[in-house]
Structure 1
Amino acid sequence: MEPDIQQLDRVFLEIGPLTIYWYGVIIAVGAMLGLWLAQRESVRRGLPKETFLDLVLYAIPIAILSARAYYVIFQWDYYSQNPGDIIKIWEGGLAIHGGLIGAILTGYVYARKRHLSFWKLADIAAPSIILGQAIGRWGNFMNQEAHGGPVTREFLENLHLPKFIIDQMYIDGVYYHPTFLYESLWNLTGFFVLLALRKVNLKRGEIFLSYCVWYSIGRFFIEGLRTDSLMLTENLRMAQFISIVLIIAAIITWVVRRLKGYANTRYLDQDQGY
């Protein structure tokens, strides 16, 4: 017989017909905290105070749309039969890689329009992005999604997890791997690693490239535990494939920028060149 299980409500607040879900609240908190950190750092790096506030006005909605589009495309068999569900982002279904693609492209266009260094913006934003991802995974926790395969309660207790996490991982009579937690902790560790790399004063672009490598390594292995992955082939998950591509692309970009002299400016330098 299972012990007393108390699960958390997905709903944060209901006001008449309006329902606000924890999923959205948590993602918003992660985005706002990330913006605050990026704004503070951008001022220290000699950029106008409003640089990142202006950027996120474009980047956040585009990232949400691209994250949803990415997810819907790879689940088209379902959404083609249920088109009304495409807009239901409060139920989950925002693919991080899709969001990153949208945000990075937006950042590149924004930098060109404002005559700023894209790599400088990316370096400043990298810790904020991974911190937002660490926080955002708790939205998956509230939705009881992005979990791994079945485990026993004893397994979860042996991880010394608090009861509220163990209880929330009890879904339809089965306990599951809290992969949301694994990734959240990996990303949180990466946040502190990237902050430390600022002091190392790497060449421009290399903090962002370090983010790509760090996040992708963790995502590759954690994704292998999940049961709700978007699949590329029978044995390869789409997120794992993208992670491999990102790691290779980041390393190649790092080497080429150094060899070609494109990265002579360092992170702590104040100029705004490309």
Structure 2
Amino acid sequence: MLSSLPAGVLANVVTSIPSPPVSYFDLGPLRIHVYALCIIAGIVIATLMTNHRLTKRGGEPWVVIDIALLAVPLAIIGARIFHVATHPGFYFGEGSNPWNITQPGSVWAIWEGGIAIFGALLGGAVGAWLGCRWTGIRFWSFADALAPGLLLAQAIGRFGNWFNQELYGWPTDLPWGLEIDADNAAFPAGLPEGTLFHPTFLYEVVWNILGVVFLLWIGRRLRLQWGRLFALYLIWYGAGRVVWESIRIDPSEIYLGLRTNVWAAIAGIVLGIVILIVQRRHFGSEPSPYVPGRQRAHGEALQSDDPTDFVDVSEPPASEVIHPAAATSTAAAK
């Protein structure tokens, strides 16, 4: 399909988006990859946003750090595993040495790019669940607090793909076409130097930022809790990813005519719908962001316009229940 495009694809181009000339810089003996900086910046901003939102719900300040200590490493591991598993030809082809950490293209060379958000969601979900069990935070309370920040982190992370000159779309003659170096290993064979491509990284950045605004607005307007806001995150991100993924030209495994990540995005949409349906069984506001019996021990003021958000309506511990007969005998003794 690409080789059939006319050579004059740039004839009517008014302007274009240049790719950064470098993807890393050296700081003494250390090589700092901009890709990694984008990922780290996204993690930091998502953590700050989640802490703010969860604290407003009644969570202890910075309890999110305890959850992140498990969620972030498992998210990165899951992201890499998912990418390697869905691109086996990159790492296990003839002549490759996938387990040699010193060789480019090894399964360990995460600094070269190659992490998948869907793997990050799976690994991060496991880590977040374990972290919530550790801290006593309700998993769905944490997920709802995380959703807008997670989408913003993904938008920031996409700039790493821009610096790496990767994950772009079909050739285009639109004014915002993306410039890719002709000597880039991923530059499609058969296309003339100077061909512009759809900047799918930018499409996803714009879509994700719009999603952040939408989630913040709809979450406040409808007071979405019990995992419903996170469900909308899955649907919003999945819907956009189906479109951007469908026009990307980087190699991918194809199943039933669709790229692997298109199927993953569809699965995310379905999961979001299932969460919305299943969580309809909950009415009203969550009584607390904590699991019953794990509420904060200290009594600082809770920040909320609606104090009922934080009232613990769970049953008291058995040790605090006074049997009616015992109450009667106590009154008689008086």
- Tell me the TM-score normalized by structure 2: 0.72
Deviation digits for residues 194-252 of structure 1, max 9, x if unmatched?
A: 11122121232111000000000000111101012532416211111111122122212
1:82 aligns with 2:102: no
Pick one of 51, 60, 76 that aligns with 1:64: 76
Where does the alignment leave 5 or more consecutive residues of structure 1 unmatched? none
SS of residue in 2 equivalent to 1:25: helix
2:282 matched to 1:262?
Answer: yes
What is the alpha-carbon distance in structure 2 between the residues aligned to residue 24 and residue 149 of structure 1?
Answer: 26
Structure 2 distance, partners of 1:149, 1:273, is 55
Which residue number in structure 1 is paired with residue 226 of structure 2? 204
User: For residue 149 of structure 1, what is the aligned residue in structure 2?
Assistant: 170
More displaced stretch, 137-146 vs 68-77: 68-77
Distance in 1, Cα, partners of 2:261 & 2:77: 18
Relative to 1, partners in 2 of residues 1:149 and 1:56: Cα closer, same or farther, differing over 3 Å?
same
CA offsets, 1:136-159, max 9 Å, x none? Answer: 11110110111001123xx1x2xx
State the structure with more CA Rg: 2
Question: What amino acid sits opposite 2:97 in the alignment?
Answer: N
Q: 1:9 to 1:263 in 2, by over 3 A?
A: farther
**Contact 2:72 / 2:127 at 8 angstroms: preserved in 1?**
no
SS, match of residue 171 in structure 1: coil
Structure number with the higher helix fraction is: 1
Q: Could you tell me which amino acid in structure 2 is paired with residue 46 of structure 1?
A: G
Aligned residue number for residue 38 of structure 2: 26
Following the alignment from structure 1 to structure 2, what is the Cα–Cα distance between the partners of residues 48 and 203?
18
Instruction: Report the Cα distance in structure 1 between the residues aligned to 2:250 and 2:40, rounded to whole angstroms.
Output: 23
Partner SS, residue 19 of structure 1: strand
Identity %: 32
Structure 1 residues 142 and 265: CA distance shift in structure 2, 3 A: same
Partner of residue 190 from structure 1, selected from 186, 197, 211 = 211
C-alpha distance 181-187 of structure 1, shift in aligned 2 (>3 A): same
2:120 corresponds, among 91, 99, 107, to 99
Q: 1:248 to 1:58 in 2, by over 3 A?
A: same
Query: What code does the residue aligned with 1:170 have?
Result: I
2-structure distance, mates of 1:4, 1:253: 41
Q: Which residue of 2 aligns with 1:171?
A: 181
Counterpart for residue 241 of structure 2: 219
Displacement of 1:10 in angstroms is 3.0
TM-score by length of 1: 0.87
* Equivalent position of 2:57 in the other structure: 45
Partner of 2:185: none
Mapped to 1, the partners of 2:312 and 2:78 lie a distance apart of 29
Q: Distance in 2 between matches of 1:42 and 1:21?
A: 32
Structure 2: stretches of 5+ with no match in the other structure: 1-7, 101-105, 183-192, 290-305, 315-334
1:223 and 1:229 in contact (8 A); partners too: no
RMSD: 2.5
**What do residues 18-68 of structure 1 show as CA deviations (whole Å, max 9, x unaligned)?**
210111111111111111111111211110112111111221121111101
Structure 1, 236-245 or 81-90: larger mean CA deviation: 81-90
Count matched residues.
261
Separation in structure 2 between the aligned mates of residue 176 and residue 219 of structure 1, nearest angstrom: 17
Q: Secondary structure at 1:230's aligned position in 2?
A: coil
Distance 1:229 1:273, change over 3 A: farther
Question: What does residue 139 of structure 2 align with?
Answer: 118
Match of residue 137 from structure 1: 158
SS at match of 2:250: coil
Superposition misfits of 4+ residues, deviation over 6 angstroms:
1-6
Aligned to 2:298: none
